Chain A
Amino acid sequence: VNAEYGEIENMEVGRLKWKDSLTEKASGLFSARVNLMKYIYGATKGDDKDQTKNEEDDDEFFRPKGSSVKKENADVFDSSKCYNKEAALSFDLDELLSNIRTKFFHNEDEPQADHSAEDAKGKEQK
């Protein structure tokens, strides 16, 4: 993960100071990006805005269509399956598989936890 952020931050070449606060920056970016509550429900209630809009509408008979409150994705296709075929066919399978090795259960995992990691590695090489 650090390497990815590094590439973005490393636009000014030559200084290594940026490396000092790298983890903080990364965690800052991450937490800023994933405030899901705010993303889903919005920071404030939208009701107030709508009311003021309606008042303005009274003055103007004709209003351009763009000002309508209808959201862009209001007619989005109704399906709970959200497969992205292009993405599914284009990702690097080997890379993804090596990243998610720990998500799979191996029989050897249970009895001796210490050896499990080695066994898994051995399998990969084969």
Chain B
Amino acid sequence: MSLVRLKGSQQFRYRIIASILSSRPIKIAEIRDDEEEPGLKDFEACFLRMVEKISNGCAIEINETGTQLLFRPGILVGGRIGEHDCGLTRGIGYYMEALLCLAPFCKKPIEVTLLGITNSTNDLSVDTIRTCSIKLLKNFGVEDGIEFKIKKRGAPPSGGGEVYFKCPIVVSLKPIMLINEGKIRRIRGLAYSTRIAPNTTSRIVDSSKTILNQCVPDVFIYTDHYKGAESGKSPGYGLSLLADTTTGCMLSVDAAGESGETPEDLGSFVSRLMVQEIAKGGCVDTAHQCMMLLYMVLCPEDVSKIRFGKLTEYSVEFLRLLREFFGVTFKVVTDPETKTVLLTCMGIGFKNLSKKVA
């Protein structure tokens, strides 16, 4: 298949994912060539190592300065790949997001243990992945046997977290029709803390509830204090929230406490994010837009339709990427009444030929 030439480091993960799923080699040039530290970062190299582990026959060529990458995709094999150390620059969510996009299309069900930072503000927290991301895949028919366990927490900077992920494989996906967002019925959440005073979680919950209870009466935030071996190497705390709607849609937000941020600050910050997310509307929150778009493209040759609250800049760039790799152009229509965006596309009929049909 023809080589796709790209520039810059943006959407690095999704470019590699698209390359694998469309089996088209890519060449990325000018990766951070203007910056003080040019070239690929350690987390991108780590991501490529993970891709190598789950696939067979992929070739990666990087030039001396790391500003150019040639990637020839192999076959996704999956299976038991043991442990993968995600490093300490990015959270486990950075890698999990990509795994969620690739795992169902492997030869064998993937089983992996990821080590690193479980909660950070830059990447999806493992709680959001467990409560929201994995559930979203059900819409496409990926559900039986999907497992995600948080074994150890790991806060930045030293990490030490551990999660286990197992994902079934599918022959083909089911097209989706997610256009009725419904009304927010309840909000659930989880506040966690590690190696810090146990009352931190209740302080987060209190400040969060003062905001959220103004919206819905049904708010419940679980608290989880980790001790000993389960608590990782650094002290930290975080909050993730999930809003359920009457039609079964989910909106999630999360963040981890940063230095200088009190538990109360974090609680109100995440709650305000939740309110913003609800105000945007849509059937999926902003962080999961790309994953949904990719799955829609891979659906059988049928129409899939979804309602987003507000199209993020990241998703806009991703839509261009999808057109380049798969030749799929979405129909994007704004709904002025609700200020939401309706996206429609025709799937390419992606099939995982390695799964035997029983």
Contacts and interface: CB of A to CB of B under 8 A. Distances in A.
B231 interface: no
B17 interface: no
Contacts of A39: 316
A123 to B, nearest CB: 10
B68 interface: no
B64 interface: no
A75 interface: yes
Contacts of B245: 105
Interface string B20-59: 0000000000111011000000000000000000000000
A113 interface: no
A77 B11 CA distance: 8
B124 A36 contact: no
A79 B123 contact: yes
B336 A83 contact: no
Given A71-B8, A78-B12, A105-B246, A99 B279 contact: yes
B51 to A, nearest CB: 15
A71 to B, nearest CB: 7
Interface in A26-77: 30-31, 34, 36-37, 39-41, 68-71, 73-77
Contacts of B286: 81-82
Interface centre among A39, A76, A78 (most CB of B within 10 A): A78
Nearest to A42: B320
A93 B273 CA distance: 11
A36 to B, nearest CB: 4
B319 A105 contact: no
Given A78-B11, A80-B287, A82-B312, A30 B336 contact: yes
Interface string A78-107: 111111010111010100110110111100
Interface in A101-124: 102-105, 109
Contacts of B35: 75
A36 B334 contact: yes
Nearest to A85: B269
Contacts of A40: 316, 319-320, 330, 332
A78 B320 CA distance: 16
A80 B308 CA distance: 14
A44 to B, nearest CB: 14
Given A75-B32, A82-B286, A100-B278, A36 B183 contact: no
Interface stretch (B139-147, B210-218, B220-228): B210-218
B27 to A, nearest CB: 14
Interface of A: 30-31, 34, 36-37, 39-41, 68-71, 73-83, 85, 87-89, 91, 93, 96-97, 99-100, 102-105, 109
28 contacts: A37-B332, A39-B316, A75-B8, A75-B9, A77-B122, A78-B10, A78-B13, A79-B123, A80-B287, A80-B312, A80-B314, A81-B121, A82-B314, A83-B255, A83-B273, A87-B276, A88-B269, A88-B276, A89-B269, A89-B272, A93-B214, A93-B275, A100-B278, A100-B279, A104-B183, A104-B216, A105-B182, A105-B245
Given A76-B10, A93-B214, 8 more contacts: A41-B320, A41-B323, A78-B10, A88-B272, A97-B214, A97-B215, A105-B183, A105-B184
Interface of B: 7-13, 30-32, 34-35, 94, 97, 121-124, 182-185, 211, 214-216, 245-246, 253, 255, 268-269, 272-273, 275-276, 278-279, 281, 286-291, 311-314, 316-317, 319-320, 323, 329-334, 336, 341
